[in-house]
Amino acid sequence: MKTQLEEIKVSAQADLNNVKTKQDVEAFRTKYLGKKGLLTSILKQMGTVSPEERPKVGQISNDVRDFLSQSIDSKITEIQNAELSKKLQAEKIDVTLPGKKHRIGRCHPSSLVLEEITDIFIGMGFSIVEGPEIESDYYNFEALNLPKEHPARDVQDTFYIDENTLLRTQTSSVQIRVMEKQKPPIYIISPGKVYRADEVDATHCPVFHQIEGLVVDKDITFSDLKGTLENFLKNLYGEDIVVRFRPHHFPYTEPSAELDMQCFSCRGKGCRLCKNEGFIEVLGCGMVHPQVLQNCNIDPNIYSGFAFGMGLERITMRKYKIDDLRLFYENDIRFLNQF
């Protein structure tokens, strides 16, 4: 039996050379120390050993067991250290190498222009007001002097959610909400996202941004409207700009006008960009219709006001000489890096 124990130790030493993984360790443990392992099988024969030899055989068997257990623990530690070393090697960072350059984000051109516009109007005493994008038919149309049968509703190409709920087609609805809750004097602009069922092309998109302005106070005249808008555009585009007002019609203003700005490309001579007219339409405006004031419980005999509205993307296109609206939404880094 002593010989068998010694042979087990020699065999185990030889097998240890082939133990490389945790699976190999488990197979080694099962082979020698398992329920049917070599050492276990021999120890079951201890009953056949004479009483005189039993202490010596017991000592040898304990030595072999200790050897096997220590060898297993040693192999596990060796394998774990190897795995850790491999992991650390893979994660190693050479601190002498130059760092990676992180690309810094840029503000979108529309965001830059919107910030500039709000700064200009805040400087003139206006407040910034926002409202819901999902709007009722009343605030989007009826309160603005656009009853259900009004033909201008067909031009709007509205996204209706149900008969009385829609995605707002203009931020003028915010003006109604303000006039209902706030007594004059009122000086506000309301920037925000609006929705219309337009086909996507170089100048149209079903989702875009508007900036509406409203002033309601005593003794407000069309001259105040002209002075405010001319001051705004000169601050935005420069003192050398030339503007003109053309008569127009909007249901919620009377009288109404469209403001044109001299073409920045041809300086009034006529070119492809301005369709040979020399001027480009910028925004619509006019004096607030008395009926709109009455709808908001404001006495038109005491107060008057003006309103205007512009598309943020169109204003941005003219400021940066961009000729295609789709560039704003494509997120092409080559385009955005220019601003």
pLDDT tens digits for range 26-43: 887 787 677 776 766 666
pLDDT for position 17:
78
pLDDT for position 143:
93
Predicted confidence (pLDDT) at residue 239 exceeds the cutoff of 70: yes
Distances (CA, A) of 126 to 188, 234, 292, 300, 334: 5, 17, 21, 21, 36
Residues 275 and 258: their CA atoms lie apart, in Å, by 17
pLDDT single digits (tens) 262-300: 887 777 788 776 778 888 888 999 999 999 999 999 999
Predicted confidence (pLDDT) at residue 212 exceeds the cutoff of 80: yes
pLDDT for position 40:
66
Q: How far apart are the first and last CA of the chain?
A: 89
Residues 303 and 284: their CA atoms lie apart, in Å, by 21
Predicted confidence (pLDDT) at residue 192 exceeds the cutoff of 90: yes
pLDDT for position 113:
94
pLDDT for position 229:
96
pLDDT single digits (tens) 59-116: 777 777 777 788 788 888 888 888 888 888 888 888 888 888 887 778 899 999 999 9
Q: What would the mean pLDDT of 160-165 be, rounded to a whole number? A: 89
How sure is the predictor about 148, in pLDDT bands with cuts at 50, 70 and 90?
A: confident
Among candidates 227, 288, 289, 290, which has minimal Cα distance to 259?
A: 227
pLDDT for position 296:
95
Residues 241 and 227: their CA atoms lie apart, in Å, by 14
Let me know: does 305 contact 179? Beta carbons within 8 Å.
Answer: no
Residues 161 and 136: their CA atoms lie apart, in Å, by 10
Let me know: does 252 contact 335? Beta carbons within 8 Å.
Answer: no
Predicted confidence (pLDDT) at residue 20 exceeds the cutoff of 70: yes
pLDDT for position 1:
63
pLDDT for position 156:
60
Residues 13 and 38: their CA atoms lie apart, in Å, by 14
How sure is the predictor about 50, in pLDDT bands with cuts at 50, 70 and 90?
A: low
Report percent pLDDT > 90 for the chain: 44
Predicted confidence (pLDDT) at residue 235 exceeds the cutoff of 70: yes
Look at 47-51, 94-98, 149-153, 303-307 and tell me which has the smallest mean pLDDT. 47-51
